[in-house]
Amino acid sequence: MSTQRILHVDMDAFYASVAELDHPELRGKPVVVGAGIRGVVLSANYAARKYGIRAAMPVGRAQRMAPQAVFVAPEHGRYAEISERVMKIFSDFTPLVEPLSLDEAFLDVTGAQRLLGSAREIAEKIRARVSSEEGITCSVGIAPNKFLAKLASQHCKPNGLLEIQEDRIIEFLHPLPESAMWGVGPKTNENLAIVTGK
């Protein structure tokens, strides 16, 4: 029986990438998606993240951190439109697509490998199509399960690909901090630090 191969495909700074796609003059500038001084940041491109700006941060705080950044209002209809097309690309490779949000999904490509090549080859084809057809980039993690695939995609952002083989799992996980684990937020991380004595 073939080893399960799961892809976690995650669009890079999706909302901000769409803003740059629709407004090419923004490329190379720090871009933050979020409306109103009392609103929250929905997305920030990598240029804006260098200033410490993150999703869910108050827009007012982000403006103080990077007054030179370009702040754009969200366009939810546009995100949904592009997301639908991206998910269609995924379904061209496997019917086993599990969307997590507009900009990320798990794909089980275990069976698809017989026809379409290795999981890595499938991931490369998906990345190429998303780039050529939609003009945005994505990062892909490949692993035997969802948990590891999501960790892998986060580890290779932006615009990367990382495959974790079965015999390299411990090697990959060992140096990671507890906060890198999917689902471990600040409070859980505090509790784990108490337990582990770190």
70 in Cβ contact with 26 (< 8 Å):
yes
Percentage of the chain modeled with pLDDT above 90:
80
More confident residue, 132 or 3: 132
Cα(40)–Cα(103) distance, rounded to whole angstroms? 18
Whether residue 147 is predicted with pLDDT greater than 60 in this model: the reply is: yes
Cis peptide before 158 (omega within 30 of 0): yes
Cβ count near 169 (within 10 Å): 14
Average pLDDT, integer, range 140-150:
97
Whether residue 188 is predicted with pLDDT greater than 70 in this model: the reply is: no
Among 130, 131, 165, 155, smallest CA distance to 6 is for 165
Work out the pLDDT band at 195, boundaries 50, 70, 90: very low
Cβ count near 58 (within 10 Å): 15
Mean pLDDT of the chain: 91
Active-site residue list: 104
* pLDDT at residue number 80: 97
Average pLDDT, integer, range 22-31:
96
**For residues 57, 182, 149 and 17, what is the CA-based torsion angle, rounded to 10 degrees?**
0
Whether residue 6 is predicted with pLDDT greater than 70 in this model: the reply is: yes
* pLDDT at residue number 192: 52
* pLDDT at residue number 196: 52
More confident residue, 158 or 191: 158
- Torsion-angle region of residue 111: left (phi > 0), alpha (psi -120 to 50) or beta? alpha
What pTM value is reported for the model? 0.86
* pLDDT at residue number 38: 85
pLDDT digits (tens, 9 = 90+) for 33-76: 998 878 999 999 999 999 999 999 999 999 999 999 999 999 99
- Provide the 3-class DSSP secondary structure of residue 44: strand
Cα(28)–Cα(48) distance, rounded to whole angstroms? 10
Cβ count near 79 (within 10 Å): 21
Whether residue 191 is predicted with pLDDT greater than 70 in this model: the reply is: no
pLDDT digits (tens, 9 = 90+) for 152-181: 999 999 999 999 998 888 888 888 876 676
* pLDDT at residue number 176: 80
* pLDDT at residue number 1: 43
**Crossing angle of helices 76-91/14-22, nearest 10°?**
110
* pLDDT at residue number 181: 66
